[in-house]
Amino acid sequence: MGEMIFLQPVFKETLWGGNKLRTMFGYQIPSDHTGEGWMVSAHPNGDDQITEGTYKGQTLSWLWKNHRELFGGLSGDVFPLLVKIIDAKDDLSIQVHPDNAYAAEHEHGALGKTECWYVLDCDPDSTIVVGHNAKSKEELKEMIDQKRWTELIRILPLHKGDFFQITPGTVHAIRKGSVILEIQQSSDITYRLYDYDRLQNGKPRELHLQKSIDVITCPCEENRPVIQTIQKEGYQESLMVQCPFYRVSRIKVSEKASFVQDKPFQIISVFAGEGTFDGRPVKMGDNFIIPYQYGSYTVSGALEFMVSSVN
């Protein structure tokens, strides 16, 4: 059976962050420039603390190290996933992540990063950068050398409920006016390609052009998943993505439904409505872990949530 694991998020102040983590979700955030909430994280740059139950006060990395049975005995030095909520009041820099092989060789054995985005909210006419228009590495280098940024980057319109899978080597940037749930490999390796020539403390931020050119896939992949929704007993399920690193599905319950926890662990990210999980009240913005062999659980209320697990 076991207990669900609730966590205190780590919040990150950023140049481009806003205050929607407070106004949309009611989190206690430190400033009006809080760009990221690390909602489920065991990463050393933001290791969440457990807020209730047997392991209250311990961190998620501690739990991973000392109670691997709660995660189905998975192997690996680090808890594999990281779930963030991102509030972009301003544009983020245009960036790319390496894959596991490149990161292992060039970043002291760190993991690469595959990530996915679910758009929780966005302003009208918002856009996002996913992909690029260079047909080959040569053309990519040429466009970067000649600073033909607007020609290079691929800008797409953005809508609430959109979903994107960002594989390593994909040029991407979250832009102003969007609030995004991000599920990713637990990695913090980012190569910055272009920062709109902005200054921080009077200086441009460091770019990583050579590493970016090394890892950018040319031509870019068209990897927008096709999402299918299935009606099940008491709920709707949409499989958003299944890749070597994670499986993410969106669930919509309107009154009551039962589920079975049949994965090494499940991360639940409630993004709309409120209700209960086995009687425990939850609401929009709550993220928690259902451990291995928890068994079945009952969800009551009108709520929507993501279920993230590893394969």
Give residue 237's region: left, alpha or beta (phi > 0; psi -120 to 50).
beta
Closest CA to 8 of 61, 47, 44, 36: 47
Structure tokens at 22: 């407070």
Tell how far CA 37 is from the center of its chain.
10
Are 267 and 308 in contact by the 8 Å Cβ rule? The answer is yes
In whole angstroms, what is the distance from residue 94 CA to residue 116 CA? Answer: 16
Looking at 22, 68, 148, 192, which residue is catalytic? Answer: 192
At 104, which helix (H) or strand (E)?
helix 100-106
Annotation says 192 is catalytic: yes
Torsion of CA 1, 230, 257, 38, to 10 degrees: 60
Structure tokens at 60: 């998620």
> What are the residue numbers of the active site?
192
